[in-house]
Structure 1
C-alpha cells in the first residue's frame, strides 16, 4: 500500500501513543479477551482429553482383565468338557453297557446299571447319566432317569417329570448343552454327539453348582458377573441371570467387547471347537465403575488444572507483549496520523481487503482484456459478418467447433450465401450456434461451424455429418470436415488440415483424415495448451528457471512459424499465444502482491508489440521483455517470506511428525501464525489442520492396503501417538474403522 509519509514529528507522536494506550482501545481489549477465551478453551479441551484418555485407559485395562479371566475360565471349562468326552468314549466302549442294548436279562441290566452309576460317581460334575439306544429307546438311567413318553422325553426329578427336547438333538452331529429349570433346582443337560459306529446315545445331567463355582472363581473390580451361554446366547450358568434376561434383545453374536448401554458392556469369547460344544463365555462389565474411577482421578487433578490456569494468565501477558505491540507499530506506519479509528483489527482488515480486491480486479481485467484481444484478432479471420462472442464464452467441454471445406460443384455467384443459410437452418435446434464464412472462392468455401453440445457424452461427429449430408442434398456439393475442437484457439490447426485435404470424388461428406491419411501434419499450428499450463504451474510453484525455459520454448515455437503477417490464421495463432504468455506472467506477478504501476510500462510496451507490430521484426524484443517480466516476478517472490513450493516440501517431509503444527510451519519462515494461516489458505483453499488430516488420512489408507503393518504402527507412521484418537477420527471421516476398511478393500 502506498501513501504520503507522516508529517508528524516525534514530539507530536509520543503523546498520541500514550493517549491510545490510556484509552484501553478496543483492539487491546479484543486481544486480551481472545487470548483468555483461547486459554479457557484449551484448558477445557485438555480436561476433556485427559478425562477421555483416562476412561480409555481404564476401559482397556478392564477389558484386558476380563479377557484374562474369561481365558482362565475357558481353560477350566475345556478341561471339564474334555473329561466328559473321555468318559463318554469309555461308556460307549464298555461291554456291559453295550450288551444291555441286546439282552433283557435282569442280571446283565443290573451289572450295566451298576457300571453306569460308577461312571457317574467318578466325576463330581455329573449328577446322572442316561443311555439311549440308536433308535431312541431309553436303556439305562442313574439317579435322574430319562423316560420316553408319547409326547416326548421327560426327566424325573423329585417325583415329577419335566420335558427335555431330546428329539431335535438326536440326529445332531455336534454335542449340545441346555439348561433345565425344575423350580427348586436347575441342571445343565449335556448331550453327547451320536456316532454312526455306536449303538448308544448318552445324556448327562450336570451339576450347576460346579459350573457356577468355576465362573465365580475369577472376579475383579468392574466385572459384575460371568455367564455361560450357548451358541444362541441362551443362559446356561452364572450369577444374576435377571440382568442377562433384561439384555436378551441386545446381546451381540460375535466375540469381543460390545457396549450394551450407558451402564453396561459385554465382553464375549465364543469357542467353536468340537470339545467346547459351541459355548459362549460372557463377562458383564460395569461402565459405572469406570465413571466412578474417572471422577475420583479428576477430583485429585483439580489442583493441577488450577495451576495451569494461573500459568496461562501469565502466558497471556507475555503474548500481549509479543503480538500487540508489533501490531501497534505496524498500524502507525500504514494508518494516517489524523485517523479517528482506534480499532486496529478493523483498520487492517479494511486495508488488506482493499489490496485483495485490487489484485482480484486486476487479474479479472487482464483476463478480460486477453479475451477481447483474441476475439478482435479472430474477427480479422472471418470474411462474413458474424456474432462470435459466444464462441469465446462457451464452456470448453461443451463447445463443439468444426471447420468444413465445401466445394462449389454446381457453380453460381450466390454459393457462399446459400451455404451459410442452409447450415444455419440445419442448426436451428441449438440455442447457441455459429456459422461463419472464413474463406470463399469460385471453387470452394471454408466455413466455421460451432454449436453448444450439452449432452453428457456429446454427439460426436453425428451432428456435423448429418448437417453436411443435408447440405449436399440441397446444393449438390462435396464436403470435407475437420476433427472436433473445444477452443477457438485450435481453429488454425483445423483449418490447415482441412485445406490439406482434396475433395472426395465418391463420397459426399468425409472426415479430412480419410483423405490425407498419415501424411497429415497434426503438430503444426496446434495450440500449445500443455506448454502454457506447464508455465502456469512453474510460476505457481516459484520454479523460475523452468518457467524461463518454457517461455523460451514457446517463443521458439512461434519463430518456426512462417507467413505470420500474410496468413490471417497464422497471425491469429501467433498473437493469441503471445497474449496468453503475457497474461500468465502478469497474473503470476499479481499473486505476489506486486504493485501494477511498478511494471505497467513494461507490460503495455510488450502488449503493443504482441498485438500490433510485425512479429518477425520484433520477436527478439518480445522475448527480452517477457523474460524481464519473469525476472520481476522472481524479485517479487523474493519479498514473500514463504513460497508455496517450500510449504509443500515441508508438509510432505513433516506430516508424520506428531509435533508438526502451523506454529512449526510459521517458525520455519520466521513469520506470524496468522500470516502463515492466511498464506496457507490462499494456496491450498483450506485450513492447515484440515489439509494435514487429509494428507495423513490418504497416507494411512495407502499403508492399510499396501502393507501388513498393524493399526498401531500405521497410526504412529502418520503422526498419531494416540491410537484410539486415530481410530475414532478415521471412522468419523471414512465411516468404518481402519481394520474394517482394510478388510473391505483387500
Structure 2
C-alpha cells in the first residue's frame, strides 16, 4: 500500500497533470495534422479524380463511336450483299436461306451486335439472326427472353442520321440501332445491340472513385450501366449542359452528349472512397501509436525493473545513508573502493596472523632451536595449503656414528623423490640426526607406503636409520606428528 500511496503525493499529482496537458496538446496537434492532410488529399485527389474521370468517359465515347462505325460498316455490306439483293427479286427459298446465313455471319463478326433483323415489305417476310421477331400492323415485336417489346419503326424512319432507340418496360429493355437509310420502300434493316458488350465497354473504364456510369435517354431514363441506384436521386434535377457539374463537396456529375438518338453518357464520381481510406488509415495509425506508446511504457518499466531497481537495491545494501545529490553509480563505486581498501587491510592482517600461526606451530616443535643455519631451510608455506589430498609426514633420520650428517643432502634427496619441488622443510638438526617435514601432494592413496619404501631405499644406500610418522592432512596436527616420530625413534 505504501508504494501505491506514493503515487498520489503532491509531486506525483503535479507530474501527472503536466503529462496529461502535454498529451492533450500533442493529440490536438496530431488531429490538426490529420485534418490538414485530409483536406489537402481531398483537393489533390478530387482534382486528379475529375481529370481521370474525364479521360475515361472520353474513352467510352470513342469506343461507342467506333462500335457504331462498325455497325454502319456491316449495314453497308448488307445492303450490297448479293444474296440479299437476289432475295429481293427472286422469290425462292434457296436465296432466303442464303440471306439468313449471311446475316448470321455478320452477327458473329461483330460482337457489338446481338441480332440483325431484315424486314422485307414487299413479301412481308422477316429474317432475324438471333431474337425472334414478328410484325403486326406495322409494329415489330422483339422477344426479350420472357416477353415481346414493341418497336414502332415508322416513328424513326424520317431521321437523317443513325439512331439509338431504347425499348423498355418495367422488367426489361432493348437497345436498337437504326442506321441512316436503313428503311426504303422495299425493306428495312435494324440491329439489336448486345447488352453484355455494352456493359463491358462501360466496365472497362470503371475505377475507384467513379460510383456510377450509365447511358441515359433524353427522358432521363437509364439504359444500361453500373450502379444505376447511385444516379436515381439526381435524375429529376439532372443538368442538360454537357460537362462536369459539382453536386457537393464530395460528388461531381459528368454529362456527355453526342450519342445517336439523343442518348447521353452520365457518370457520378466521388472522393468518399479516398476519404474513407484516409479515415481508416488515421484510425489504424492512431491505434498503432497508442499500442506502441503502451508497449514503450511497459518496456521502460521492465527496463527499469532490470536496471534501475537492482541498482537501487544494491545501493541500499551497500550504502547506509544514500546521498540524494549524487548518482547511484558514484556512490556504489565509492562503496566498492572502501570495501576493497578494507579487504586489503583485512588480508594483510590475515597474512600476518597466518605467519604468526605458522611460527607458533613450529615454535611448539622446536622451541629450543634458534640456529639461523637451520631456519634458512624452513620453507613451509606449502604445508599450510587447503588442498584436501595433501599429506604431511615428519621424518627423523639418524646417521651412523662415524659418518658426518649433512641435512642438505637429505633435503635434496627428498625434493628429487617427491612430486613437487620444495616439498621438504628442515625442522631440527643435531649431531648425527635431523628432523624433516615433507608435504606429499597428489591423489595417490598409498602415500604411507611410498614414503616408507622411499626411506627404506635411502637407509640401505646410506646406512642411516629413519623414523616415519603417520600421515596428516591438517597443519595443526604437525606437533602430534613430531611427538609421534620422536616416540618411534
TM-score by length of 1: 0.30
TM-score by length of 2: 0.45
Greater relative contact order (Cα 8 A, min sep 6): structure 1 or 2?
Answer: 2
Larger C-alpha radius of gyration, 1 or 2? Answer: 2
> When you count helix as a share of all residues, which structure comes out higher?
1
